[in-house]
Amino acid sequence: MKHKPHSESEVFMAVLMPFEMSFEVHKHLDRQDWEMFVETPTTEQFLEKREHFKNLHGRITDNHRLGPEGYPGKEKGKWRKEDAAIEEAGSENPWDSFLDA
């Protein structure tokens, strides 16, 4: 049995519709705000912006290599070792030209 492909808005609505019944539970939700939220992903402006950022993301060729510690972890460990090795070799550190003044 073949399934009919769903449009993105149909899938979006199928996922979010159960939450629509939550107005009794979540008194802070306003129906007008909710309807605006549900309509947003189908607007032309949203779709254009989405496509733009999708294309930008497609240009990424490598995964980041910072690891879970991020910049602070690299500054403490690997980068300090690399800096020490460059200094020991008597070479100029190419990253020094990027330091904030």
Total count of domains within the chain? 1
Residue-number span of the structural domain to which 46 is assigned: 8-58
pLDDT > 50? residue 1: no
> Residue 22: CB partners within 8 Å, gap ≥ 6?
29
Which pLDDT score is estimated for 18?
60
CA-to-CA separations, 63 to 20, 31, 44, 47, 67, in angstroms, rounded? 38, 41, 31, 26, 10
> Residue 40: CB partners within 8 Å, gap ≥ 6?
46
Domain assignment present for 66:
no
Domain assignment present for 22:
yes
Which pLDDT score is estimated for 100?
61
| Residue 39 φ then ψ, to 5° | -80, -25
User: Percentage helix, strand, coil, to 5, in the chain?
Assistant: 65, 0, 35
Which pLDDT score is estimated for 35?
83
Which pLDDT score is estimated for 37?
83
C-alpha to C-alpha distance for 7 and 11, rounded to whole angstroms: 6
Give tens-digit pLDDT for 16-69. 666 556 777 778 888 888 888 888 888 899 999 999 999 998 888 777 777 777
Higher pLDDT: 58 or 100? It is 58
Q: Give the predicted TM-score (pTM) of the model.
A: 0.40
Domain assignment present for 77:
no
Domain assignment present for 95:
no
